[in-house]
Structure 1
Amino acid sequence: MAEPAQAPSSEAPQPEAPKAEEVPKPDEPTTPIQELWAAAKAQSHPEIWGVTLADPATHVPSQIVLQKYLNAKDGDIVKAKEQLIQTLEWRAKIQPLELIKKSFSKTKFEGLGYVTQYYASDEKATEENPEAKEVFTWNIYGGVKSIDDTFGNLEEFINWRVALMELAVQELSLPTATKPITADWDPYKIFQVHDYKSLSFLRQSPQVKAASTETIRVFATAYPELLKEKFFVNVPVIMGFMYGVMKLFVAPKTIKKFHPMSNGGALAKEFGESKVSGLGEKLPTEYGGKGADLKAQGKGPAVE
């Protein structure tokens, strides 16, 4: 027996409602810088280079720090985030700002590192005009009295070297900066000078090789986009080894900022186009300038 035909349903099928356009929630990152900020907030350590990180939308110092990580990786947010997290973990462990307060061995480190700063027309730079100041770090490895003492304890040497770098970063005045940076404009960088006078014999030293390798590795990770130019003066044969190590850890665009020089006395001539007028003349006399020696015009980590 045939079943009766089913009566049509009185409830007609409803057309599917159009999907609302997905919009990010207010607390979700909307830009690469905000994404880096979100990654930073998830870490236990809140500070980089003296800047306590905050929302970069309203906190210029944080924008500068986070933009440097993005610039270092040419805009690759995944790589920038990875390096940022590595830096925060490293700073949580090492506590670089505490190393500045520490006194190091006078026998091992006195006279080996200085920080200097030079101002345009002898007028101090302001937060609105950061280009009016140039900051230098000087590593005077020609002053090493004993390879075993200075380089033998790798952790101690790295701590001293980090303290010197943190002193230089302080001179950039990042916590009070008021001008954001971009991928193309960033005056918050440091000149570095490494003087290897009389140190050609170091090429055979395993302690020096270990210290150089670890310094390059640490600085490549924890201090991105802080180098303006780097000058290796009075260079010995050891530079062949060091350049090989640098290529392992340092980006090619950073390697291009490295300048080996056989004569340290010609260094001042390299700064003819600096925005700090007469910068070359302000350097110490042994580097071709007319300024006082580094001990008189510079500062470094405290020694016992």
Structure 2
Amino acid sequence: MLPEVWRAAYSPDDLKAEVKSFTLWRVTIDPNNPATDARASVILMKFLRAKELKVNDAKTALIATLRWRDEMKIDEIETEEFPKIFSGAGRNFGHDKQGRPVTYNVYGGDVDVKELFSDVRRFIRWRVQFMEKSIELLDFENVDQMVQIHDYKGVSMMSRGANEKAAASEATNIFQSHYPEFLVSKFFVNVPTFMAWVFWAFKAFMSAKTFAKFSMVGTGESTIGVALLPYIDAKELPKVYGGEADAW
């Protein structure tokens, strides 16, 4: 199957082209002998699990992902420099109790959300870069998933503009289509009750399996701590989220 995947992704006009190895998330995969690296099997299994072990669906998804990465020029995105505003919007800090890295997306608080989403294409490139950097924390041997925390502190119902909605929709589609089974759980924190629609809006863009990994948490360190501390040790959780760590 993998030689067919390679030809469809990299040489669709020459199905007799010599099949070569390709790299996905720093793991080299040999289509003719993928068993040479156990990590390759872990990555390929992600596509199978995402498609409920339906081989043809997983094959189609893998081909689409390889094509998308070429079209997006992921190698260039990984080294692209973004304005300082983005430095506070994405952070990797600590691990959960199973050793999985925890990533933070901050779309409120001190982050200038209007500027963050002023250019949707720029935001998408940055968001993809941040995801790629987060994946670098996985070894695909002991850990192959992460926890995500999205912080909407201070965000009001009126502040979500067309750009933010468009970016959220596109990013959700990208991660569901091209980053399968990387997420073990996602927490939306500092979400006011009247903004519950932000949480439920994601349901329209993803599978029920993925949506089941989402949890909406209220506001305040104490409330957030109650939700997160069962999964993340206090020493691994920033104080602003009810933990003990002086993270930022």
- TM-score tier by shorter-chain length is 0.7 to 0.9
* Paired amino acid for 1:111: G
SS at match of 2:60: helix
Aligned residues: 232
Counterpart for residue 154 of structure 1: 120
**Residue 288 (structure 1) aligned with residue 245 (structure 2):** no
Higher Cα Rg, which structure: 1
CA distance, structure 1, for counterparts of residue 125 and residue 89 of structure 2: 14
* Paired amino acid for 1:68: K
Q: Using a 3 Å threshold, how does the CA distance of structure 1 residues 53 and 89 change in structure 2: closer, same or farther?
A: same
Q: How much does 1:234 deviate?
A: 0.7
Counterpart for residue 212 of structure 1: 168
Report % sequence identity: 31
| Structure 2 unaligned spans of 5+ | 11-20
| Structure 1 unaligned spans of 5+ | 1-34, 121-130, 180-186, 296-304
Q: Using a 3 Å threshold, how does the CA distance of structure 1 residues 78 and 215 change in structure 2: closer, same or farther?
A: same
TM-score when normalising by structure 2: 0.84
- CA RMSD in angstroms comes to 2.3
Counterpart for residue 15 of structure 2: none
Contact 1:195 / 1:234 at 8 angstroms: preserved in 2? yes
CA distance, structure 2, for counterparts of residue 119 and residue 271 of structure 1: 9
- What is the 5 A alignment of 1:121-132? 131=98
TM-score when normalising by structure 1: 0.70
Q: How much does 1:136 deviate?
A: 1.1
What are the Cα deviations for residues 18-60 of structure 1, in whole angstroms up to 9, with x where unaligned? xxxxxxxxxxxxxxxxx3x234322229232222222332221
CA distance, structure 2, for counterparts of residue 85 and residue 239 of structure 1: 36
* Paired amino acid for 2:134: A
CA distance, structure 1, for counterparts of residue 160 and residue 82 of structure 2: 26
Counterpart for residue 21 of structure 1: none
Contact 2:217 / 2:227 at 8 angstroms: preserved in 1? no
Counterpart for residue 269 of structure 1: 226
Q: Using a 3 Å threshold, how does the CA distance of structure 1 residues 118 and 247 change in structure 2: closer, same or farther?
A: closer
Q: How much does 1:241 deviate?
A: 4.5
**Residue 38 (structure 1) aligned with residue 3 (structure 2):** yes
Q: How much does 1:264 deviate?
A: 4.8
Q: Using a 3 Å threshold, how does the CA distance of structure 1 residues 271 and 152 change in structure 2: closer, same or farther?
A: closer
Relative contact order, higher structure (CA 8 A, sep 6+): 1
**Residue 73 (structure 1) aligned with residue 51 (structure 2):** yes
Q: Using a 3 Å threshold, how does the CA distance of structure 1 residues 202 and 98 change in structure 2: closer, same or farther?
A: farther
What are the Cα deviations for residues 130-173 of structure 1, in whole angstroms up to 9, with x where unaligned? x5x220110111133251x2112111000111111111100002
